[in-house]
């Protein structure tokens, strides 16, 4: 099975959790292409320690041709809409921006804790 290429946007509480879960499962073919986090957070430090590229939001589309899923964990609907528009403008039909509903399902499969309020 081919690896699944992932981008994580936002490394607050939820993003840090997802990042750690994906790092632990990298042997299952889950590849983190890059992350986006403008602030100095614990999640950004974890990404740096694990040699994961840290890029700006505008740079995500440059990587997107090789990306299967973008996890927007910022809680900002404007980021979600902007990513979808930019992917469409780039004629990228491969990359999926994961919806908040799917994130809640994944979260509940990984932990018994309620998803933190953003």
Average pLDDT, the chain: 89
Topology annotation, domain 4-110: Rossmann fold (3.40.50)
Q: What is the pLDDT of residue 53?
A: 95
Domain residue spans of the chain: 4-110
Q: Which residues are registered as beta bridge partners of 5?
A: 31
Kindly report the pTM of this predicted structure.
0.90
Q: pLDDT tens across 19-70, in order?
A: 999 999 888 999 999 999 999 999 999 999 999 999 998 888 887 778 999 9
């Amino acid at each position: 099975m081919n690896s699944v290429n992932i981008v994580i946007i936002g490394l607050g509480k939820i993003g840090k959790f997802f990042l750690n879960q994906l790092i632990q499962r990298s042997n299952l073919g889950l590849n983190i292409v890059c992350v986006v986090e403008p602030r100095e957070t614990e999640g950004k430090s974890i990404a740096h320690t694990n040699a994961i590229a840290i890029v700006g939001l505008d740079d995500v589309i440059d990587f997107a041709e090789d990306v299967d899923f973008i996890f927007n964990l910022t809680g900002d609907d404007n980021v979600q809409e902007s990513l979808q528009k930019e992917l469409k403008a780039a004629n990228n039909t491969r990359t999926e921006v994961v919806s908040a509903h799917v994130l809640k399902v994944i979260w509940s499969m990984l932990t018994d804790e309620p998803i933190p309020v953003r």
